[in-house]
Structures are given as structure tokens and as C-alpha cells.
């Protein structure tokens, strides 16, 4: 395949996600197999600006596929948001003779990638690395499955104590404004409901839930809540229930950053490996400004502008499965 790319820079940016290391490994080895040199850029765009750039060989990525987090470290860079910052970043790219970038991260990271690519005419390919599963044009993202399993395992433990004390638990999970983590973990853990940002009901989700008598046949229950301002968060919902329904013994658990850690599941390792190899393939095919996605188990290229568009719909089928299985 005819491509002028002889070396790439590779970085992870934004919130880390399990499977990022598997992606780093796959991108590095796929590049080297195609005689492309790889430069690891530490601390995301921050490190691109401060020149924390080191050449990677195949053994630079040995023994990392099973590790959570990212060996390249991650950061959110204020400076990269300015033109001045991006100019500094571009100088370092030139200094190392880097022809293209592979960026692993979420919507903020891919938005930055799109701006940078257009400003300096650099080919950039993105990999969706985020537990939130909030990127459009892809069925799933690297880290989402592991986070889902972590939440499910935590919910199984919460269920034990909820059942013993006959309590109502509100469990808050990450996802920013995307309800996939809450909805699918509610299904997987057998919870009673998920309060998610994508759903707006005539009253509100909590009032409807209670009026529908979601605890009719149960003495204990668990409700998943997405951390978003739109849902109000678990603490706020629990306070409302305590006031309006003092008969319920209510508790709150906020799972927090433990959702981002841990060894990636087989599914995330395979997804990250496939996407990493596809990123190099895309560059060889002269693709630019695209995110690698997966649709119906096939690799697809999604233009950055499409990937970061906040129009990922929540699956009606999944909502129905939760409704039916939680009666
Ligand atoms: O985007 C990933 C994510 O974990 C979100 O779910 C969460 O809202 C956010 O990052 C937390 O960011 P930080 O680690 O910077 O507090």
C-alpha cells in the first residue's frame, strides 16, 4: 500500500480506560510490522507540548496487555486548547520527524485531534478509549466492557447488604451525560431501575418510578443513577425519597474512580487489539481525521466530526428489557 507515513506519534488523553494499554501495544506492533517507527508521547497533549516523547520498540509494550490504566499516562491539557499551545506541539512533531498521530481517548481528546489535524494538516487517527461509551458511530468503546463488569460485581455485593437490611440503594455510576453504563449494569445486576440522562418523562423519572410501585413485590431494591446534572445524581435523589417516602430505608453508594481501574476483560483486550491494528491500516490507506469504530462486529472509520456529535441514542430495546425484567 502506498503511504508516505514513516513514523507515528502515539498518545493517550483524557480519562484513562482499561484496555488502553492493549491498544498501545497493538498500534506499536502493527506500525513496526509495517516498517513505521513509533514515538510514545507521555501525558497526552501536555507531553506533546513539553516534548515528553520517546521512541518505542516492540519490547516497550511487552507485558502490558493485562494492565489497567495507561503506561503512556494521561492528562487533560488546558494549553492545547490554545493556538499557542498547539503551535508548540506541532514544533515537537516536526523535531521528531513524526508524520501522523494516533490518539486514544474520549470525545474531548478527539475534538482536540480534529482541530490540530486541520490546523497543521497532519493525518490523525483516533481510537475510542473511554468507559463512557458515549462516542457516536461505534457500538462500543475501549474500557466500557471492563467498567460494566466492575459495576456489576460491585452491585452484586451491594445486593447482599441491601437484601439483609431491606433497603433501597441508589448507586451512582460514571458516564457523564451518557446512560449506557447505568442502563446495562442495571440489566446485568438485576437492578430495579436506571435513572439516565437520555430519558425525560412527563414528571420525572424518580416520581414515575415510585408511582408505578417499583417496590411492590420487593423488600429491597437497587437503582442505578448516571452521575449527570440532568439526573441530579444519587445523593439528590436519595434525599428526595427520604423526605417524600420516610418508610423507605435509603442508602447511597457512589462507585467513583474504581470504575476506571482494573485489568481489562477479554472483550476489551480484543477490541483494543483490533482497533489498534486498524488504526495503522487506516493510515496506510491514507485515511485521516477518522476514529476507528466497531459496528456489528466490523471495523468502521468514523469521521471525527461524526464521532463527537452528541447524538448517540439509547437503545429502546435495552430500556424495555430492564423494564420487563425488573417487575
Ligand atoms: O470520561 C470518563 C470519565 O470517567 C467520566 O465518566 C467522568 O465524568 C470523568 O471521566 C471524571 O473525570 P476525572 O477523572 O478527571 O475526575
Say yes or no: CB of residue 146 within 6 Å of ligand 1: no
Q: Are 11 and 72 in contact (CB under 8 A)?
A: yes
| pTM score, whole prediction | 0.96
* Sequential pLDDT tens for the chain (327 residues): 568 999 999 999 999 999 999 999 999 999 999 999 999 999 999 999 999 999 999 999 999 999 999 999 999 999 999 999 999 999 999 999 999 999 999 999 999 999 999 999 999 999 999 999 999 999 999 999 999 999 999 999 999 999 999 999 999 999 999 999 999 999 999 999 999 999 977 778 888 887 777 666 677 789 999 999 999 999 999 999 999 989 889 999 999 999 999 999 999 999 999 999 999 999 999 999 999 999 999 999 999 999 999 889 999 999 999 999 988
Residue of 132, 134, 145, 268 marked active site = 132
CB-based burial, 226-249: b 16+ in 10 Å, e otherwise: bbbebbbbbeebbebbeeeeeebe
Cα-to-centroid distance, 176 and ligand 1 (Å): 7
Query: What's the mean pLDDT when you consider all of the chain?
Result: 95
Say yes or no: CB of residue 175 within 6 Å of ligand 1: yes
Give the C-alpha separation, 103 to 241, whole Å. Answer: 43
Amino acid at each position: 500500500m502506498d503511504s508516505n507515513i514513516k513514523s507515528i506519534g502515539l498518545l493517550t488523553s483524557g480519562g484513562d480506560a482499561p484496555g488502553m494499554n492493549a491498544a498501545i501495544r497493538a498500534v506499536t506492533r502493527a506500525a513496526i510490522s509495517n516498517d513505521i517507527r513509533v514515538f510514545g508521547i507521555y501525558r497526552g497533549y501536555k507531553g506533546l507540548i513539553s516534548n515528553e516523547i520517546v521512541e518505542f520498540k516492540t519490547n516497550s509494550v511487552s507485558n502490558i496487555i493485562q494492565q489497567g490504566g495507561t503506561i503512556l499516562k494521561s492528562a487533560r491539557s488546558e494549553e492545547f486548547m490554545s493556538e499557542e499551545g498547539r503551535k508548540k506541539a506541532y514544533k515537537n512533531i516536526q523535531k521528531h520527524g513524526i508524520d501522523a498521530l494516533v490518539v486514544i481517548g474520549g470525545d474531548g481528546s478527539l475534538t482536540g485531534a480534529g482541530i490540530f489535524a486541520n490546523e497543521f494538516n497532519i493525518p490523525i487517527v483516533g481510537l475510542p478509549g473511554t468507559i463512557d461509551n458515549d462516542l457516536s458511530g461505534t457500538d462500543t468503546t475501549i474500557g466500557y466492557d471492563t467498567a460494566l463488569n466492575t459495576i456489576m460485581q460491585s452491585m452484586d455485593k451491594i445486593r447482599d447488604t441491601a437484601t439483609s437490611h431491606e433497603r433501597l440503594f441508589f448507586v451512582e455510576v460514571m458516564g457523564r451525560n451518557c446512560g449506557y453504563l447505568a442502563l446495562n449494569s442495571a440489566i446485568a445486576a438485576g437492578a430495579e431501575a436506571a435513572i439516565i440522562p437520555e430519558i425525560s418523562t412527563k414528571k420525572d423519572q424518580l416520581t414515575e418510578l415510585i408511582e408505578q410501585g417499583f417496590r411492590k413485590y420487593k423488600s429491597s431494591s437497587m437503582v442505578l443513577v448516571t452521575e449527570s446534572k440532568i439526573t441530579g445524581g444519587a445523593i439528590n435523589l436519595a434525599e428526595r425519597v427520604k423526605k417524600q417516602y420516610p418508610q423507605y430505608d435509603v442508602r447511597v453508594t457512589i462507585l467513583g474512580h474504581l470504575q476506571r481501574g482494573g485489568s481489562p476483560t477479554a472483550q476489551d483486550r480484543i477490541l483494543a487489539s483490533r482497533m489498534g491494528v486498524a488504526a495503522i491500516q487506516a493510515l496506510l490507506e491514507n485515511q485521516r481525521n477518522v476514529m476507528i469504530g466497531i459496528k456489528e462486529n466490523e471495523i468502521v472509520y468514523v469521521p471525527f466530526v461524526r464521532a463527537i456529535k452528541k447524538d448517540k441514542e439509547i437503545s429502546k430495546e435495552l430500556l424495555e428489557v430492564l423494564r420487563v425484567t425488573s417487575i
